[in-house]
Structure 1
Amino acid sequence: MSIAFLPSLRCQLPVLLFLLQGAFIAVFNLFFTFEDPSTHFDTSNATTTAEGLDDLENIFPFFKDVHIMLFAGLGLMLSFLKLYGFGGIAVNFLIANFAIQWSMVVQGFFYHFRHGVIVLKLRNVLEAEFAGVTALISAGAVLGRTSPVQLLLLTAVEIPLFVVNDWLINEYFHIIDVGGTVAIHIFSCYFGLGVAQILYRPSLRKRHLKEVTTSNTDLLSLLGTIFLWIFWPSFNSVLAKTREAQHRAIVNTFLALSSGTITTFAMSSLIDKQGRLSLVHLQNASLAGGVAVGVSADLISPGGAFTIGCLASISCSLGFQYLSPFLAKKIKVQDQCGIHNLHGLPGIIGTVGSIVVILLGPVDTFGLSLHETLYHDGLEGQQPTLGLFGNRETWTAQRQALHQAAALGVTFGVSLFGGYITGLLMRFPCFVHPSKDDFFDDQLYFQVPEDSGTKWISNEELQKHLLVPLKHI
């Protein structure tokens, strides 16, 4: 029995990719440059050169770490399905590249368009990678159930919405969020859940026969988790505004990850009736502390980071055990990779924790007040930015706590609404749609070697050989 290939895939995917690359070639040639035109009025461009060297020295080490997280860590983490390992890694590779390119264009015109050009710096590329992460996380909610063409559409819609939401919560609400807990994790989570709810398939109320894992795929996924675990302090600290804040963010992220990992082992053994450890929990809950602590990693005390890491891992473990089945059954949200447990729940815990720290914490204990962190200008003589709740002269801890809560609400609304709209667009019949029998199968999209162990077999044969239960990451 042979698999039924989609003839439109051969037309849509290469044509779409060539059109996108052609458009980006034109945009980059017309608008992107390394030289700031404003320096033409100076006798020297030494300032621009110095800024570039500063980026190379201060940002490039973190840039490499984030690179490994996106392409190696996330890719391996998504390779947990026996028959969709190529799709987990290779499609992640495709979407990550497109997301970064598209983010550079959108952010460039939104933030950096001056004198008819966009001055490209290493920091701009890094910011584009942060934007690209949102698409990769959201795609995890519908992993294996959508075509690459549909995921490209998801990315194309999500990136501009992310940029607008990021601008809103930073320029109008002045949120404290050094590691992108609200801007990245919560936004991408509920955007992905919105898409997943629109693409709900009643036929998947019970586990699909191809949603199986093996010991090798679980090991690869756990290896991806460890890559992410190792480099997460760079992700949470690179955008800190001072060296002191960056130092605190690195240490606090490690503490949250470490405490969360130990808690994950304890929770996993406690949840299982026979006290066995679940790779689902290890692959996810061990990272939950890094998500939760990101919002206040540069401000809280070591004890606070330790506590947040423990609470985040507990919520993630319990989410996989109880909340995911509830969402699938009652809310009709099939969250394939459990992004709500890893990104949504810890993100909410971290944001609530930041509000508690702002209201109750001794904000000047570590030598950098919330006030100065929030309004650090970087340019001498720059005017204070006005927001919906006032300016630096009227700043109070209570106002900042309100900022945090308002930004969380806005992000939740924008991401969920955007996910619903994107899901409706992805359902249009003009796009490639895999049939339910072809879900979680590499052979629809890849040339699969005969001896790879991922060769397509019938549902009847799969049912006979079904040895391992479904794993979520």
Structure 2
Amino acid sequence: LTSFNTRLRYQLPISLALFQSVLLVVFILYVDYDDQSNNPSVSNATTTTKENQLYGTFPFFKDINVMLFIGLGLMLSFLKFYGFGGLAFNFLIANFSIQWSLVVQGFFYYNQDGRISLGIKNLVDAEFAAVTAMISAGAFLGRVSPVQLLLLCLMEIPLFVMNNWIITKYFHIIDIGGTVSIHVFSCYFGLGVARIFYHPELSLGHPKEKTTPNSDLMSLVGTVFLWIFWPSFNSVAATVGNAQHRAVLNTFLALSASTLTTFALSSLLNKKGQISLVHLQNATLAGGVAVAITADMIIKPAGAFGLGCLAAIACILGFQYSSPFLARRLKIQDQCGIHNLHGLPGIIGTLGSIIFILSGLVDSSNLKHNGELFHDNSFHDNTVLKVWGTGQTWDARDQALHQAAAFGVTFGVSLLGGLITGLLLKVPCVVHPSHEFYFDDKPFFQELLTVPPCLI
């Protein structure tokens, strides 16, 4: 008991202090404001106030913050004895991941003359990266310590950045809202870690793995926050104007379709016609995941509507059949059902993007991903798509194959990375909760200590 108290007391603060110290040195040596946030008197910037990215991006940035810190945090507080852990540890890893992402992405993408130029776009990109770690952690919610969560972020963020670079540079994926790069990646990375953390005794349930009406209500409130602000998440990276407008419309339609489908199917599957709170907390958001990859395309309102319906159906059936199969056959205990909310809708979204591309429902405004792709009009009649400076050309069929290949690469990289990370998190020297204190945050919060923390 004394040995554990010492480890609990020192491992987290020492880890955070070391991390912050290293980042402070990096920021001193390598990080500065970009031209749009620098002082005009000491900068060569000629950007006018109207042209500054802040005014177009900051409203989206605020919405995404609400999603990450309030929506997702509340959504993860559904367990009776882990409400503070779900909300507070989400807050912890969000900030840790954002800081780490600023450095990793900065050196990978924004390094100019040996220095990182920091602007509002960097913050948005860093939050996109942070979301992957926050989603992945849901697969084993309540079964790891905060130190293990920090190690998860430390490993996952660089792998996410590398994978995103690969599928963008070499497969030229069209994925404006991150269906593949964010949702699919985070899902299968989390499932890889969860596979390593498999505990046979949990197959019979855990006495603390339960919810209450209040905890379910808070989780549902988190879902509503995510639902309201999801259009900002899917549209912030789209080209300003028509494409961004479409992204908002398509996302809202997909979310709305998911919601009504969820109420209908959840009631239908219950013998008494009752609605499952688990379905409401998850499947109502599935359309936002599925439509993200095609959010700025001209997929027609019916296309967005259809994706939302299919995603909700897949999510609900996933909770009904896929989750038990994963736990029983593949020994993957997916605590929050991230495979149902992010994996299955991600697959549907990827297939949808392939169908829409082959149907010619893609225009030039949403093919300028990172300034690399362009063409004159659309993929109708096999219009050729070109890549700046490479001499490469391909048609709709080629782009559809690129979408599929990018999904395959992301699946493999994330799953393998998750398995390796899971092994690292189980190193004996890292503090972790005992089976007795799974799904219980009492050992980690002073106000809640009513019994001695019995961790190993």
TM-score, structure 1 length as denominator? 0.88
Please report how far the alpha carbon of residue 7 of structure 1 lies from its aligned counterpart in structure 2 after TM superposition.
3.4
Matched-pair contact (CA < 8 Å) for 2:307–2:352: yes
Change (3 A) 1:89 1:404: same
Matched-pair contact (CA < 8 Å) for 2:443–2:452: no
Gaps of 5+ in 1: 459-473
Change (3 A) 1:289 1:457: farther
> Per-residue displacement from partner, 1:248-272 (whole Å, max 9, x unpaired)?
0000000000000000000110111
Please report how far the alpha carbon of residue 52 of structure 1 lies from its aligned counterpart in structure 2 after TM superposition.
9.3
Matched-pair contact (CA < 8 Å) for 1:79–1:220: yes
Distance in 2 of aligned mates of 1:457 and 1:278: 36
Match of 2:445 in 1: 446
Match of 2:325 in 1: 326
The 3-state SS of whatever aligns with 1:205 is helix
Matched-pair contact (CA < 8 Å) for 2:318–2:340: yes
Question: Larger RCO: Structure 1 or Structure 2 (Cα < 8 Å, ≥ 6 residues apart)?
Answer: 1
Matched-pair contact (CA < 8 Å) for 2:239–2:365: no
Distance in 2 of aligned mates of 1:348 and 1:190: 12
> Per-residue displacement from partner, 1:128-158 (whole Å, max 9, x unpaired)?
0000000000000010000000010000000
The 3-state SS of whatever aligns with 2:177 is coil
The 3-state SS of whatever aligns with 1:222 is helix
Please report how far the alpha carbon of residue 107 of structure 1 lies from its aligned counterpart in structure 2 after TM superposition.
0.2
Change (3 A) 1:189 1:6: farther
Please report how far the alpha carbon of residue 395 of structure 1 lies from its aligned counterpart in structure 2 after TM superposition.
2.5
Please report how far the alpha carbon of residue 6 of structure 1 lies from its aligned counterpart in structure 2 after TM superposition.
4.3
Match of 1:245 in 2: 243
The 3-state SS of whatever aligns with 1:33 is strand
Please report how far the alpha carbon of residue 211 of structure 1 lies from its aligned counterpart in structure 2 after TM superposition.
0.5
Match of 2:166 in 1: 168
Distance in 1 of aligned mates of 2:292 and 2:418: 23
Match of 2:105 in 1: 107
Match of 1:469 in 2: none
Amino acid at match of 1:421: I
Matched-pair contact (CA < 8 Å) for 1:371–1:395: no
> Per-residue displacement from partner, 1:400-421 (whole Å, max 9, x unpaired)?
0011000000000000000000
Change (3 A) 1:141 1:386: farther
Corresponding position: 1:400 with 2:399: yes
Change (3 A) 1:131 1:43: closer
Corresponding position: 1:131 with 2:129: yes
Change (3 A) 1:86 1:373: closer
Matched-pair contact (CA < 8 Å) for 1:256–1:307: yes
Match of 1:187 in 2: 185
Matched-pair contact (CA < 8 Å) for 1:75–1:224: yes
Distance in 2 of aligned mates of 1:234 and 1:91: 24
Matched-pair contact (CA < 8 Å) for 1:174–1:374: no
The 3-state SS of whatever aligns with 1:119 is strand
Matched-pair contact (CA < 8 Å) for 2:35–2:43: no
Please report how far the alpha carbon of residue 369 of structure 1 lies from its aligned counterpart in structure 2 after TM superposition.
6.3
Please report how far the alpha carbon of residue 288 of structure 1 lies from its aligned counterpart in structure 2 after TM superposition.
0.1
The 3-state SS of whatever aligns with 2:204 is coil
Distance in 1 of aligned mates of 2:408 and 2:115: 35
Gaps of 5+ in 2: 375-385
Match of 1:116 in 2: 114
Match of 1:222 in 2: 220
Matched-pair contact (CA < 8 Å) for 1:172–1:386: no
Match of 1:461 in 2: none
Change (3 A) 1:370 1:151: closer
Matched-pair contact (CA < 8 Å) for 2:7–2:431: yes
Matched-pair contact (CA < 8 Å) for 2:372–2:387: no
The 3-state SS of whatever aligns with 1:129 is helix
The 3-state SS of whatever aligns with 2:329 is helix
